[in-house]
Amino acid sequence: MRLSVVDTERCIGCQSCMFACARRLGEGGLASTCIGVRSIGGMERGFKVVVCRACDDPPCASVCPVGALQVRKGGGVRLDAAKCIGCGHCRDACVIGAVFWDDETNKPMICTHCGYCARFCPHGVLSVVKGKNVESAGLADNAGKAEKARKAERVEEAEGAEKDSSPPQAGMAAGAEGPDGGAADATRKAEEVEANA
Amino acid sequence: MLKGDPLANVLYIDLSKKRYRVEQREDLFEKNMGGAGVAVELLHEECPKGADPLSPENPIIFAVGPLTGLFPLASKTVAMFKSPHTGNLGESHAGGRSAVAIRTAGYGAIVIRGANDIPGYVAIHGSEVHFRDARTLWGMRNSFTVGRIIRENEPAAGLRSIMRIGRAGEKLIPYACVTTESYRHFGRLGLGAVFGSKKLKAVVVSGKHSLPVGEGGGGFGAAEYRRVYDQIYQEAVASPVMKKYHDLGTPENILPLNALGGLPTRNLKDARFEGADRICGEALAEHYLGRRLACSHCPVGCIHIAALREPDENEPYFYKTSMISYDYELIYALGSMLGGSDPEGLLKLIDRIEVYGLDAMSSGVVLAWATEAQERGLISDEQTGGLRFAWGDYPVYLEAVGRIVEQPNEFYAALARGVEHAASVYGGKDFALAFGGNEMPGYHTGPGAYLGFLVGARHSHLDNAGYSIDQKVLTKRQVGPDELAREILKEERWRQVLSSLVVCFFARGIYHPETASAALRVAGFDRAPEDLQRIGTEIHSRKYAFKVREGFSFDDLRVPVRVSETPSPVGMLDSQYLQAAVDYVCSDISRTGC
């Protein structure tokens, strides 16, 4: 199971996904979130969604000097916090900035692709896809990938895969947006999230 | 409240001394919860009696609430100050990323005192406060550019708020606003001028603090938090009311209000606008809507941005595209109120006002008054510097806004002080549409609206939504002045609770007393619905206490003759009825001991 960014152009920047990720751990605020939504240079231009794209061959794991990041079946990585020495190489190796950092423990925070955030995306920007042949969209959002992701989602719904506890994914995911206000350079390197003291 | 909740932290910043400190104020938050309740107490503490609103002694207070960062739609920040526009309570609310940024930076409130000696801006990143030089930014014509520069100079994209002023604030125009995240505003009552008087160009806030939920005592943990959250979130995304705000946004109300005969038109000479179908929410969405946006932690996303493509006057195939945020109040104030039905002219005027950082409603009412005053010969071509105001003439209005900001002569300097002042100099008070010194919002719906403007603590339609009582109750049955007054007071007192939590008023149908109480429990506040009602009444009287302390009197309230000359949806306005309702409010408020 992987998290997929289906269509960043539908993102309104509400950051409900970010709060969901922290809430998963029973916390308010945003300290523990493993997903980031920010404007691509002024909100009028739209947003980028920074989240682990579950690379098949993840650079973050390759550069880990102590083997604290294990490649996960189906893509992405798992953190063994006991092994981690907090060197930050993984964060530097992730060109999309999807290795978030816990300033308190001085260790990375890694998306587990649980899909909780997707359930709180009111406009269908995020979804959960299953199966190895489906390309996870990550930062990119071209139409082909989005289409594949949508199909995969439907298959998954048919299988009744997402029977988890809480409800949402409701209501307002309606019609297409108007013309784009600015060209989204979706593939450019995501900015580093500045830790604040 | 929960032990260790950073909500209790109040950050005090002294611009004169370039110092800051944090105080734990559990006392304040325990009693008043947050937002408006805490801010009004801080205002009483910090603002000396009789302070000049544009002097260093006037404090700027920002406050958020216990639900901020925990629950959806608790997305607003309350700003309080002494208003340079009315001379008493200054309060305005804005969303954007401001509320979540302040809360996750580790504060419940921020107090800014003193003044900079040279232009500066303040950057608050978690526990660090930086005093930055803003001399290069001062005097910059376009407030969008200021936002861009600060954005590039400061860290924490996506987790920060950049609250800034434009030229209007620098020029101390008492209806200058503070803009946050380009499109949201602390719009009313002149916070922009208070920033300007402190040579404070901007306040940047960012943070990434985690926030606790109730483990202490009540037995509530993560599971209860998620349960209450899911319930609120589900209502937010499924309710038809919220869908309305997402689809067309507040401009959805243009056509219904026009059909009702409640849309102020041409300085309220009319209450129906023949051009409404060209500037209504439907028309703007169809031809211009370019993007919809949300405040942090609001799944609704009511912010509507138009994309306006304009050809260059001289060079072929050279276009510029501006992204312009529009809402009901802007379409009223800068559209129907000015008799403007050209949507492109309207969007350009909205954009210009955004560039300068003026309050859109006050600006529109001032321009509408000027148009009628010139029409009636109260002001001459010489005084206007050759401009001839005419209904719907956007090129003239665009030029006039620039002159209001730069004030090349006495006439524009008078307009820059608001419609009440301009009419006191040039005459035309009967059609100078201000209430309690604040220019009117876009509702000519009946006595509820006007009573609301008159007695609302900040003379805003959002204080008590009198316009809603007009439409829901008065159109169906007769209501005596006392009953109307009681309804207005009840609504305004409950809204003190919402604005202390601080929940967006658009979500008032979701955060009814029981829901608010359940959410508060998760945040460590044990408050039964009845407690909330009582707290709301107390906060309301604390606001009035400040107003009265600073010289406000119900006896000074003026009702412009114009409002009883134009029929409203519930008939002609009876000034005696309105006076009786004001008298009721006055005696009720005196009784609750302000």
pLDDT by residue (tens digit) across B326-375? Answer: 999 999 999 999 999 999 999 999 999 999 999 999 999 999 999 999 99
The two tokens of residue B490 are 């009840």
- Find the residue in A nearest to B323 (Cα): A44
A171 interfaces chain B, CB cutoff of 8 Å: yes
> In chain A, which among 50-79 make CB contacts under 8 A with chain B?
none
Question: Looking at the predicted structure, is the pLDDT value of residue B436 above 60?
Answer: yes
A5 interfaces chain B, CB cutoff of 8 Å: no
pLDDT of residue A132: 53
Q: What is the CA radius of gyration of chain B?
A: 23
A168 interfaces chain B, CB cutoff of 8 Å: yes
CA-wise closest residue to B400 among B416, B417, B379, B382: B416
In this structure, chain A runs to a length of 197
Distance between CA atoms of residues B558 and B420, nearest Å: 10
Q: Which member of A43, A171, A177 has the closest CB to residue B183?
A: A43
- Find the residue in A nearest to B106 (Cα): A29
Distance between CA atoms of residues B137 and B140, nearest Å: 6
The position carrying tokens 């299953």 is A130
CA-wise closest residue to B488 among B453, B535, B514, B517: B453
Q: Which member of A25, A122, A191 has the closest CB to residue B157?
A: A191
Question: Looking at the predicted structure, is the pLDDT value of residue B266 above 90?
Answer: yes
The CA-to-CA distance between both ends of chain B, in Å, stands at 27
Chain B residues with CB under 8 Å of A167 CB are 230, 234
Test the B interface: residue of A19, A165, A189 with most B CBs within 10 Å: A19
CATH topology of domain A52-110: Alpha-Beta Plaits (3.30.70)
Q: B529 pLDDT band (50/70/90 cuts)?
A: very high
A25 interfaces chain B, CB cutoff of 8 Å: yes
Distance between CA atoms of residues B94 and B92, nearest Å: 7
The two tokens of residue A186 are 């979706």
Q: In this complex, do A178 and B307 lie within 8 Å of one another by their Cβ atoms?
A: yes
- By the 10 Å C-beta count (0-12 exposed, 13-18 middle, 19+ buried), B516 is classed as buried
Mean pLDDT of B19-36: 98
pLDDT of residue A175: 32
pLDDT of residue B593: 58
Test the B interface: residue of A9, A25, A30, A100 with most B CBs within 10 Å: A30
Chain A residues with CB under 8 Å of B226 CB are 23, 26, 166
In this structure, chain B runs to a length of 594
Full strand arrangement of the beta sheet holding B178-180: B128-133, B120-125, B200-206, B160-164, B178-180, B184-186
Q: In this complex, do A28 and B183 lie within 8 Å of one another by their Cβ atoms?
A: no
Mean pLDDT of B38-48: 98
The two tokens of residue A13 are 């920047």
Question: Looking at the predicted structure, is the pLDDT value of residue B207 above 90?
Answer: yes
Blockwise average pLDDT, block size 10, chain A, 197 residues = 93 97 92 95 92 94 97 89 97 97 94 95 93 44 38 35 38 33 28 27
Higher pLDDT, A190 or B19: B19
pLDDT of residue B594: 56
Mean pLDDT of B37-57: 98
Chain A residues with CB under 8 Å of B144 CB are 42
Q: What percent of chain A is helix, strand and coil (3-state, nearest 5)?
A: 20, 15, 65
pLDDT of residue B215: 64
- Find the residue in B nearest to A36 (Cα): B158
pLDDT tens by residue, B55-106? 999 999 999 999 999 999 999 999 999 999 999 999 999 999 999 999 999 9
CA-wise closest residue to B351 among B292, B280, B288, B271: B288
Share of chain B above pLDDT 70, in %: 98
Chain A residues with CB under 8 Å of B151 CB are 41-42
Sign for the CA dihedral angle at B126, B130, B134, B136 comes to: negative
Q: Can you spell out the DSSP letters for B175-199?
A: TB-EEETTTEEE-TT-HHHHHHHTT
| Residues A91 and A101 sit within 8 Å (Cβ to Cβ) | yes
Chain B residues with CB under 8 Å of A41 CB are 148, 151
> In chain B, which among 168-197 make CB contacts under 8 A with chain A?
181-183
Domain boundaries along the sequence of chain A: 52-110
Q: In this complex, do B69 and A12 lie within 8 Å of one another by their Cβ atoms?
A: no
Distance between CA atoms of residues B518 and B536, nearest Å: 17
B3 interfaces chain A, CB cutoff of 8 Å: no
- By the 10 Å C-beta count (0-12 exposed, 13-18 middle, 19+ buried), B87 is classed as middle
pLDDT tens by residue, B484-516? 999 999 999 999 999 999 999 999 999 999 999
Burial B397-413 (b: 16+ CB within 10 A, else e): beebbebbbebeeebbb
Q: Compute CA distances B492 → B79, B372, B437, B455, whole Å.
A: 17, 33, 19, 10
CA-wise closest residue to A49 among A9, A107, A21, A22: A9
Among the residues of B16-133, which ranges form H helices?
26-32, 35-46, 98-104
Q: In this complex, do A170 and B234 lie within 8 Å of one another by their Cβ atoms?
A: yes
CA triplet B433, B435, B437: central angle to 5 degrees?
95
pLDDT of residue B220: 60
B222 interfaces chain A, CB cutoff of 8 Å: yes
Sequence-separated (6 or more) residues with CB below 8 Å from residue B526: B218, B520
Q: In this complex, do A196 and B182 lie within 8 Å of one another by their Cβ atoms?
A: no
Cis peptide before B502 (omega within 30 of 0): yes
| Residues A18 and A36 sit within 8 Å (Cβ to Cβ) | yes
pLDDT of residue B385: 97
- Please name each of the domains of chain B with its CATH number: 6-206 (3.60.9.10), 249-424 (1.10.569.10), 438-591 (1.10.599.10)
pLDDT tens by residue, B281-331? 999 999 999 999 999 999 999 999 999 999 998 999 999 999 999 999 999
